[in-house]
Amino acid sequence: MAGEIDPMEQFKVEPVFGNMVVGGYDLSFTNSALFMFLVLGALWVFMIGGMKRELIPGRWQVAVESVVGFIDDMMRVNIGPEGKQFAPYMFSLFMFILLANLIGVLPFAIVPGLHTFAVTSHITVTAVLAVFSFGIVLAVGFWRHGLHFFSLFVPHGAPAWLMPIIIPVEFVSFMVRPFSLGLRLFVAMTAGHILLEVFGSFVVQGLNAGGALGPIVSLLSFVMIIGVSALELLVCAIQAYVFALLTSLYLNDAVHLH
């Protein structure tokens, strides 16, 4: 049966500074918006701090340079020389997702009344990011190749009698990309947060139950939380990387058409 602690409650979007309804639309400033601004602020501080252009770079500048170089490398390897023009978009995408994921697992809830909010654990946010990427792929493809872009659905060297099967399959696999892109990030973050919350509720309920077995369950759950948190940090980085990597592969398709 459901316990006292609802693992879904952490995903609730609620207004921070009271409700604001304009012309029938709810335009309240929510905790989701607040954490997006936090992500923006963190990214801003990170970049401003590292862009002093010193001749002998300090630690901070090296950190910024290595992230920029990492994205630059990814573009060059996956797209080629034309990839450089997408580096700013990809850098913003990667850093936004990475920082949103990392801020989402910060243990703010130690302070009573506060709790952190993972922006990327909502499909509305990740789907918009995926639609951005997909839209850029479409725009680049049609801009560079015009209607020739549709030859993306026709693989080279496939026999002609296979075409009635291959073209619909390729079309579906192309159209499903934004869904898989958004869904992957959303589910990976949601699942991790539910897992942490469930083990957290085990700790509380074990302590409340008392007896000889309760504290043991609590202790084991707490050790598990530490392990899962470490795994979550890895997942945060991998998901941001995978999102950027897949976007760059799709861009490569749009630029080079197979």
Partner 1 sequence: MTDLGAMYIGAGLAAIGVGLAALGVGNVFGSFLEGALRNPGAADGQQGRLFIGFAASELLGLIAFVVAILILFVVK
**Where on the chain is the footprint of partner 1 (CB under 8 A)?**
8, 74, 77-78, 180, 183-184, 187-188, 191, 238, 241-242, 245-246, 249
Q: Closest distance between partner 1 and the C-beta of residue 19, in Å?
A: 26
Q: Closest distance between partner 1 and the C-beta of residue 29, in Å?
A: 27
Q: From the CB of residue 25, how many other CB atoms can be counted at a distance below 10 Å?
A: 7
Q: Closest distance between partner 1 and the C-beta of residue 164, in Å?
A: 26
* Closer Cβ to partner 1, 213 or 231, answer by number: 231
Q: Closest distance between partner 1 and the C-beta of residue 196, in Å?
A: 15
Q: Closest distance between partner 1 and the C-beta of residue 94, in Å?
A: 13
